[in-house]
Structures are given as C-alpha cells and as structure tokens.
Amino acid sequence: MPESSIVQEARALLSLIRDERPEGDQRARLTKNAVEACGRAGLFRATGATEVGGLECRLSDIVTATEIVSGADPAVGWYVQNSMQAWRMGSQLDPDTRDEVFADPSRYCANAGQNQGIVTKVDGGYRLSGTWPVVTGVEDSDWTFMVGTLFENGEPRLVEDRPDTRNLLVPTSALEIAQTWQGVSAMRGTGSNRVRADDVFVPGRFAVSGETPLVIDRAYTRLSPLAWIMPAIGGVVLGVLGPVIETLTDALGTHTAAFTGEARRDQAASQELAVRCRAEYRALRAGLHEIVRAVDAALERGEDVPADLRAEAYASSMYAVDRSRKLASDIFAGGTRDAFLRENPMERGLKDLHAIGYIMASARFITHTAGRVMLGGEPDPGA
C-alpha cells in the first residue's frame, strides 16, 4: 500500500529535524526552521476537517507520521499532538470565526488543555483568568486552546455534578508567558512555558461547551479529540523507543564487559534484554496500529466509532506509554556504558520517556474509562 502524503512529508523532514534538534534543545524551544517546515508539511493541521483548512488525514497515517518525526526529535511529535485540540474545535466554529483562527493553516496552535481557568460570563462573551504551568510551544502560536470552569456568584457551576467547562481559543498575544522551561533536561525542545490569563475577554464565538453543536457534522468530526490525541502520543513514545532499542542492539553486539572482558553478545542477560525489548516494541506497535486501522475503517464507512473501539485505542496508547517508560529504564540499567553518555539515544530516551510518562500520569482517568467500558460501563463524557 503506497504511503500517504502526510507520512511522506514526515519522512522528508527527518534530516531537517535532526539537524535542528541541537539548537532546539539548547534554546529549550523548537527552532523557527523546524516549526515552519512542519507547518508547511501539514503536520499541525492533519486532523482538521477540510472545510476548516485541515487535511482530514487517517488516524493510522497520523500515528505513523508522528512516530517518524518523534524518532528524530520527540518535541516535534509533541507539537503535532498538541495542535490537534484547536483544529478539532474548528468544527464547532462558524465559518467567519474559523477563517480568522486558521487564516494561515500552516501555523501552530498551542494547547493549554488542562482545566486551570476560571471563566465568568459577561456581555458578548467571557472573562478568563488562570495559570497553566506547562503549555507546549506557546511562543510559536498565534492562538492557544484553553479550558476553564464556568463560575457563577463566585462558585463553579455544575452540570449533573460535573464542572461546567468552556473550551476557548485565545489570541496568544493576550496571554502572559513566563520563561520556565530553560532548566529542564527532558523534552527540552517543546518550549512548554507557563502561561497566565489575567481577566482576558474572549468573545462568545471563540468559546464552546460540550453542548455546542458541530457546524461540520459527520463521523470524522464527531470523533472526540481524545481519540486522536492519545494514539498520536502512542506514536511519540514508540518513535522515541525505536532508536533506543536500535542503539542498545548495536552496543550489546560490539561491547565487552568491563570487568571480565567477555563479549556482551555472549552473555545470557544481554541476549534476554535484546530479545525482550525487540519483542515488546513490535507488540506495542502492532497493537496500536491494529486499533487505529479499525478506527479508520469505521470512519471511512461513515460510522461513528463505538465506545468499545475508542476504549481499545486508549488502552493501547496508555500501555505504549507505560511499557516504553519501563523498557527505557531496563535498557539504561542493563545496557552498556554508552547509556551514560550525554546525547546518546539511550540516555535521551530514558529522560524523554520518563517525562512523557510523568505528564500522562495525570491522565490515568483515560485508562480507567477504557477499563470501565470494557467491563460494560459508560465512558466519561468527551471520551
């Protein structure tokens, strides 16, 4: 089967991404060259509906493309999955509003997706205040997707015992950005600085809730943002893990043990580590790609993706995060002394995969809702 254009574009970017990574790591933010090249390639708008200016790519192709670029720099893959929220929200906006937000479809849109905001209703729209501690690539965006809880009379408004939230698209120029990412050692190129909104006015047409109907309504746009984002995150971690395992295999095949002088390839522990890493990596990839192809098949038939299939996608994605993190630790501990060298893929992978695992620890509800569906229960709203 021929590669899709988005996968071809990702492969064509590999040399540039590798060349730009050292500078991006040094400045704790992707370079302008890298961001603009990814934008021109369509990576940031891959999940957007065509009416919004998006490419409406298949989920399997998005996962593959994300995996490819993340093998060169996981920060690029993180930008890709991070841009999806704004583009998915575009299907809920009226034509004039989405034309304004996506006037340049190659531009990156940031995502402050954690619900850290206080939203109050005013004439013509809302007022937004709050602080979001980690917002990837915010300095490279014109617009930022933000989430807050609607407050009334100083108290959070509840709907069926849940906070009444609003998703808002806010001009990044209206936000205060604090340079907090320079001191990190993992995922440095993401430029995930702290953002603050201080009583920012957001016109009503740039805000939606779970009850806001889709303006562009079909199976592709009805699939929840989470069902796109989670497999893409799976693609990021698998993209990082692949080079780590290749580096391990090469090192074990050529190194000798420091104390005994024995070839590492002749040691049972090295042999078992190599076999286990390769087998688990293949299994993780196969499981994730099997599920996303099933999602694609449902969408191509014009069918809504059922809850049990979404649950399988979440389970495979979170399992890829968890196992990749564990494998990176095993490789670091049981591999070769090269793992202690700065910028070695084993050293980089340990830090980056643990950073992603830490981030995703706050999203364990995704695993729980998947399990609840598998056991016959109902998914969380929005999942």
Instruction: Give tens-digit pLDDT for 284-335.
Output: 999 999 999 999 999 999 999 999 999 999 999 999 999 999 999 999 998 8
SS3 93: coil
pLDDT score of 1 more than 60:
no
* Contact call for residues 10 and 68 (beta carbons, < 8 A): yes
Whole-number Å distance between alpha carbons of 179 and 318: 30
* pLDDT tens sequence across 114-129: 899 999 999 999 999 9
Closest CA to 177 of 218, 121, 122, 132: 132
Q: Which residue has the tokens 């400045």?
A: 27
Whole-number Å distance between alpha carbons of 101 and 155: 31
pLDDT score of 95 more than 60:
yes
The residue-averaged pLDDT of 64-86 equals: 98
Instruction: Output the average pLDDT for the chain.
Output: 95
Give pLDDT, residue 307: 96
Give pLDDT, residue 383: 85
- What is the pLDDT confidence band of residue 2, given thresholds at 50, 70 and 90? low
Question: H or E element: which one contains 151?
Answer: strand 141-152
pLDDT score of 363 more than 60:
yes
Whole-number Å distance between alpha carbons of 139 and 144: 10
- What is the pLDDT confidence band of residue 191, given thresholds at 50, 70 and 90? very high
* pLDDT tens sequence across 221-263: 999 999 999 999 999 999 999 999 999 999 999 988 877 888 9
Residues 6+ apart with CB under 8 A from 196: 130, 131, 132, 175, 176, 178
In sequence order, what are the beta bridge partners of 263? 256
pLDDT, greater one: 154 or 169: 169
**Confidence (pTM):** 0.96
In sequence order, what are the beta bridge partners of 232? none
Question: H or E element: which one contains 267?
Answer: none
pLDDT score of 146 more than 80:
yes
pLDDT, greater one: 339 or 320: 320
pLDDT score of 204 more than 80:
yes
Query: How far out from the chain centre does Cα 346 lie?
Result: 21
Whole-number Å distance between alpha carbons of 146 and 180: 19
The residue-averaged pLDDT of 344-360 equals: 94
Concatenating the DSSP letter of every residue in 109-124 gives: EEEEEEEEEEEEEETT
